[in-house]
Structure 1
Amino acid sequence: MRFCPVCANTLLLRQEEVLLFYCQTCPYIHRVSGTLIDRRTLERKEVDDVLGGAKAWENVDSIAEACPKCENPRAYYRQVQTRSADEPMTVFYKCTNYDCQHQWRER
């Protein structure tokens, strides 16, 4: 993808006698004279843990909810507003069994 040096809009390709980049907004035209290859490796951004990570589970209550993985009868739970304010909160669970620690959300 190329951008116009005059107005910064996206340049389009047009085939006439030769291949041309042209701008739809201004009269800029650039003649393509060779092979067009431009590779760039993008750096990946670090993913933020939007649910708070491990610290979010430090001071939570437990409830009688069976773990779907190990069938442990209790689970920690948290409620998080993941949608708009007029939607109900989403409940996240984490198994109290130290060996399991399975996490799931209410369906």
Structure 2
Amino acid sequence: MLLFCPACSNTLTVSRSDYEDHHPNGVNRLQCKTCPYQFILNKRYYERRLMKRKEVEDVMGGAGAWDNVDQTDAQCPAQDCGGDKAFFYMVQIRSADEPMTTFYKCTKCSTRWKEN
């Protein structure tokens, strides 16, 4: 959770408070680094957010990912298929200095695989 200063709109940082004499365990505060604003944290503050996980199809193109893709000669990895043609598309899923990942789908049995 990122909080901002109500006086100057800069980010607030957490630091030790100067009011240690009243609290033997010490107290933290939210402090602005550009103006004198500070807020004493005298109780626990937390925020819980449930993150929605993305489906793999949302990331990799969904149901229409195989529409209008090219074909190539590629041996299907399924042992009982024997197909020698596959649909394919390429995606840059790693850093830019790494090669693109090629995703294949057999035209005969619809088996999917990938190559780096």
Q: Structure 1 length as normaliser, TM-score?
A: 0.63
What displacement does 1:74 show?
2.3
Q: Which residue of 2 aligns with 1:57?
A: 66
* Alpha-carbon distance in structure 2 between the residues aligned to 1:87 and 1:39: 38
What displacement does 1:57 show?
1.8
Contact kept? 1:9, 1:25, Cα under 8 Å: no
Alpha-carbon distance change, 15 to 68 in structure 1, aligned in 2, over 3 angstroms? farther
Q: Which residue of 1 aligns with 2:13?
A: 11
* Alpha-carbon distance in structure 1 between the residues aligned to 2:48 and 2:82: 49
Alpha-carbon distance change, 14 to 87 in structure 1, aligned in 2, over 3 angstroms? closer
* Identity %, equivalent residues: 37
Alpha-carbon distance change, 13 to 55 in structure 1, aligned in 2, over 3 angstroms? same
Q: Which residue of 2 aligns with 1:102?
A: 111
Equivalent residue for 1:93, pick from 104, 111, 116:
104
* Structure 2 stretches lacking a partner, 5+ long: 21-25
Alpha-carbon distance change, 45 to 92 in structure 1, aligned in 2, over 3 angstroms? closer
Contact kept? 1:61, 1:77, Cα under 8 Å: yes
What displacement does 1:29 show?
1.2
Instruction: Provide the aligned C-alpha RMSD in A.
Output: 3.4
Structure 1 residue matching 2:47: 3-state secondary structure:
coil
* Structure 1 stretches lacking a partner, 5+ long: none
Q: Structure 2 length as normaliser, TM-score?
A: 0.59
Equivalent residue for 1:44, pick from 22, 40, 52:
52
What displacement does 1:28 show?
0.8
What displacement does 1:69 show?
3.5
Offset from partner CA, 1:7-39 (integer Å, 9 cap, x none): 2403222143152221222211112222x1313
Please say which of residues 57-66 and 23-32 is displaced more in the overlay. 57-66
